Amino acid sequence: MKKIAFALTALGLVAGVAQADSFRETMDRHDNAPVFATADQTVELPASRVYGSKDLVNMNLSPNDKVTVTRFPSSGVIDAPSRD
């Protein structure tokens, strides 16, 4: 009985390793794909709307200082290939 349990455990481990290796190969193919995103527009906002109080102190900013941020569209996929 112990031999059967040991054999099933070993088989399960081997199957798990094979599946993980297959998953890694699949992910490697997708990780190298380029990702494109274009800025719709930039806007200036008070620093207090972008950063917390700890960040404002660390960056020596006043809450009313203007910072420029990039605004991205929120109604679509931003990593679609560009059509240039």
pLDDT tens by residue, 8-21: 787 777 777 667 66
Q: What is the sign, positive or negative, of the torsion defined by CA atoms of 56, 62, 63, 66?
A: negative
Mean pLDDT, range 31-41, rounded to an integer: 65
The structural domains of the chain, with segments of one domain joined by +, span 1-33, 34-84
pLDDT tens by residue, 55-68: 999 999 999 999 98
Mean pLDDT (the chain) is 75
Output the pLDDT for position 4: 83
pTM above threshold 0.75? no
Output the pLDDT for position 30: 57
- Ranking 6-20, 23-37, 48-62, 67-81 by mean pLDDT, the lowest is 23-37
- CA dist 51 and 69 (Å) reads 11
